[in-house]
A = this chain, B = another copy of it.
Amino acid sequence: MKPRVAIVAPGAMGSAIGHRLDSHGFQVLTSLTGRSDASVRRARQCGMHHRTDVELAHADIFLSIVPPAEAIGLARRFAPLFKEHGRAPVYVDCNAVNPRTAEEIARIVLDSGAAFVDGGIIGGPPRPATPGPAVYCSGPAAPAVTALREGSLRIRVLSEDLGAASALKMSYAGITKGLVALASTMMLGASRNGVAQALYEELAESQPHLLKHFSRSVPDMFGKAYRWVAEMEEIAEFLAPDESGQRFFESAARLYERLARDNAADRVEIDALGAFLARESGSPPAA
């Protein structure tokens, strides 16, 4: 019999994973309390069933998929219920948190009697006809999560080290989301200094693979910048004791904070980035 899976919360990633599991015959439970009408509709379309927290605490596998700043709070909300009812799930923290945060969550969860798995999701939400993201799992209980492979999820058991999945997620996201911050910073700098067209053309000529990467990854950030702030702060903590690395990502957090505000207001910088990438290479320079 397939394990019953609780997914909290049914956001973009959580509901897409729920949908995939549901379409492979898993029973997928979630909490819709306090969610917006749009979220409730999306969760239902994904085949996710509302349950009370007490009922969710009885699932076989519990996936925590929330913004990084909410990961500890979610563990604290459910730990007393795991403890009280004796039968506790395998709790998988899938969030973009640094390994020390993951260890803190592990302590809360393990104290409650539930099993803990450190998880890290790399890639966007699964969509029909795509393999979907890789879900890395680490820690002694990680093999239990492979039961979700029957749900067509790419579950990858990384190691027995409890923080390994979080460390991998931090390292990978640091490269991809750090690069978006770097590219945005320089494209805005070039635009402020009147050399946007020249920079675009030079990149098109000498770094076409990077320009292509930016054309996809930078606009994809516009609507997510507000969510990336806390993730940049997690990466900064992850990099201790590397002080320059920490400052690098504290700066990236401030950039995404600024771009999130801009995106919600008059979109001066967001539009400048969009305009930069909408350029085309002109006729090649004379020499």
Contact = CB atoms under 8 A, between A and B. Distances in A.
Interface centre among A153, A183, A195, A202 (most CB of B within 10 A): A195
A209 interface: yes
B247 A250 contact: yes
Interface string A229-256: 0000000001100111101101110110
A24 B182 CA distance: 40
Nearest to A214: B175
Given A167-B195, A250-B247, A286-B156, A186 B209 contact: no
A2 interface: no
B202 A190 contact: no
A27 interface: no
Interface stretch (A8-16, A30-38, A157-165): A157-165
Interface of A, helix, strand, loop or mixed by DSSP: helix
A182 B248 contact: yes
A244 B186 CA distance: 11
By size class, the interface of chain A is: 35 or more
Interface in A156-211: 156-159, 161, 163-164, 167-168, 170-172, 174-176, 178-179, 181-183, 185-190, 193-195, 198-199, 202-203, 206-207, 209-210
A247 B251 contact: yes
A174 B168 CA distance: 26
27 contacts: A136-B198, A146-B287, A158-B195, A158-B198, A167-B189, A167-B190, A168-B199, A168-B202, A171-B190, A171-B193, A171-B199, A172-B186, A172-B202, A174-B186, A176-B207, A178-B186, A179-B179, A181-B248, A188-B245, A209-B209, A209-B212, A244-B251, A244-B252, A247-B251, A248-B252, A248-B255, A251-B251
Interface of A: 99, 122-123, 134, 136, 146, 149, 153-159, 161, 163-164, 167-168, 170-172, 174-176, 178-179, 181-183, 185-190, 193-195, 198-199, 202-203, 206-207, 209-210, 212-213, 238-239, 242-245, 247-248, 250-252, 254-255, 258, 285-287
